[in-house]
């Protein structure tokens, strides 16, 4: 049974540390962790969650899709569109704060699935934005670092 994990909140320094790649041989042992992360993301009404946000310094992100959450181990952006667009973003680790961030309109992302298979997906729109946001977390970058029009909602 999955559990809700406590979130690491800004300005916790763990959010600024680059995450370590995961040994593919260890992915199978992380099944409970990624399921707990998915449960946490959904419970907090998020659309993405990175391992640093629950205090784990590893390259793992969860992205919510129309078909449910997917876990991406060691995600890498292979291709980014030349076209970029502004869009409003928030973050579970920075509650009630929002701002406009310029991101690539589409990306190609390679990652390892929970079953240990290498997979590549092409994403555009909101899915591309979420993947970029979560991979930024793995590199110690927060959306507020590049956002404009930052505002708080009570």
Q: What angle do CA 19, 78, 82 make, to 5 degrees?
A: 115
What's the rounded Cα separation, in Å, for the pair 117 and 137? Answer: 23
What backbone torsions phi and psi does residue 84 show, to the nearest 5 degrees?
-125, 160
What's the rounded Cα separation, in Å, for the pair 59 and 139? Answer: 9
**With contact defined as beta carbons under 8 Å apart, do 109 and 134 qualify?**
no
134 is catalytic: yes
In angstroms, what CA-CA distances link 80 with 23, 57, 104, 107, 112? Answer: 26, 25, 6, 4, 19
Q: Point out the catalytic residue in the list 85, 88, 134, 154.
A: 134
* Residues acting as catalytic residues: 134
């Amino acid at each position: 049974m999955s559990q809700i994990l406590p979130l690491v909140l800004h300005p916790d320094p763990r959010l600024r540390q680059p995450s370590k790649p995961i040994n593919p041989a260890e992915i199978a042992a992380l099944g409970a962790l990624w399921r707990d992360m998915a449960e946490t993301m959904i419970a907090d009404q998020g659309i993405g969650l990175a391992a640093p946000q629950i205090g784990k310094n590893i390259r793992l992100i969860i992205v919510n899709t129309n078909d449910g959450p997917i876990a991406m181990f060691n995600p890498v952006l292979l291709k980014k569109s030349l076209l970029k667009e502004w869009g409003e973003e928030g973050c579970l680790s920075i509650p009630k704060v929002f701002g406009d961030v310029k991101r690539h309109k589409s990306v190609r992302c390679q990652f390892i699935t929970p079953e240990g298979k290498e997979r590549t997906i092409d994403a555009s729109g909101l899915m591309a934005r979420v993947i970029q946001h979560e991979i930024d977390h793995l590199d110690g970058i927060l959306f507020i670092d590049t956002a404009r029009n930052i505002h708080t909602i009570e």
